[in-house]
Amino acid sequence: MANKKGTALLMVWADIPADKEAEFNKWYNEEHLAELLSIPGVLNAARYEAVKSGPKHLACYELENAGVVQTPDFKDRPRTPWGEKVSPSIIGNPVISNVYEMIRPDALSTDALNSGMAPSLQIGRMAVPADQEEQWNHWYNTVYTANYEKVPGCIRARRFKAVRGEPKYSVVYEFENEKVSETDEWMKQRDINPDNDKMRNMMTHATGSPGVWVKTFEL
């Protein structure tokens, strides 16, 4: 069985003019998602819409590794006539297209490798001063995400470093539903460790971070 998850993500966010959304969604669902899934190393994909924050539209692609986006199959594919009209780079504002390499966990479990696209994602995008990165990353990897993974409805947490795009770091929580981070259990974990407040204050979130997106389409 082919893996459904890898060690990298391609994530494309966009806001689309209301009068173009219908055709944008039709193109994505009927042509573009299948086009990218046909590329070797693109393991899985789904589309999401924001229920908290934004941009509204998110396409999330599981990659075997970050090098997939540098292969000829990915880079040299021609844009279709339909894509020339309604791709995010043509009609989106803003558009964020980032590639991420996994830094937590060190390796995916068999369960994670075989798991599909989550029903909902909470995504944080953040930067931290260079002289604080080491202790901040250690805390985020071993304390903060580990505690949130205890919350019912949180499937798993993965952390990533951007190899294309900004800011440098991202955290992706896979949820069973979009309400997980509103529960009392989630809020309890937010401040359960005495270092949490200090460590959170080290980071600067990107505009729209954190946000929650719910799955709307997958093949």
Tell whether 63 is covered by a domain.
yes
> Is 166 contained in some domain?
yes
Asked if residue 1 is part of any domain, the answer here is: no
Whether pLDDT at 142 is above 90: yes
Asked whether residue 182 is assigned to any structural domain, the reply reads: yes
Give yes or no for residue 155 having a pLDDT over 90.
yes
Query: 2: pLDDT confidence band, cut at 50, 70 and 90?
Result: confident
Residues 87 and 49: their CA atoms lie apart, in Å, by 16
pLDDT computed for residue 1 by the predictor: 65
In-domain check, residue 95 = yes
Mean pLDDT calculated for residue range 111-139: 97
pLDDT greater than 70 at residue 181: yes
| Number of domains composing the chain | 1
Output the pLDDT for position 40. Answer: 97
Which residues are 13's β-sheet partners?
58, 96
Instruction: State the average pLDDT for the chain.
Output: 97
Boundaries of domain holding 201: 8-217
Residue 160 lies in a domain: yes
Containing 137, the helix (H) or strand (E) segment is helix 133-139
Judge whether 162 lies within some domain. yes
CATH number at residue 189: 3.30.70.100
Contact between residue 212 and residue 120 where contact means Cβ atoms under 8 Å apart: yes
Question: What's the per-residue H, E or C state across 185-218?
Answer: HHHHHHCCCCCHHHHHCCCEECCCCCEEEEEEEC
* pLDDT computed for residue 20 by the predictor: 97
By C-alpha distance, which of 108, 124, 197 is closest to 156?
108
96: Cβ–Cβ under 8 A, 6 or more apart, which residues?
Answer: 11, 12, 13, 14, 55, 165
> Which of 8, 125, 127 lies closest to 65 in space, CA to CA?
8
* 3 within domain boundaries: no
Q: Is 186 left (phi over 0), alpha (psi -120 to 50) or beta?
A: alpha
| pLDDT, average across residues 30-53 | 98
> DSSP labels for 34-66?
HHHHTSTTEEEEEEEEEEESS-SEEEEEEESSG
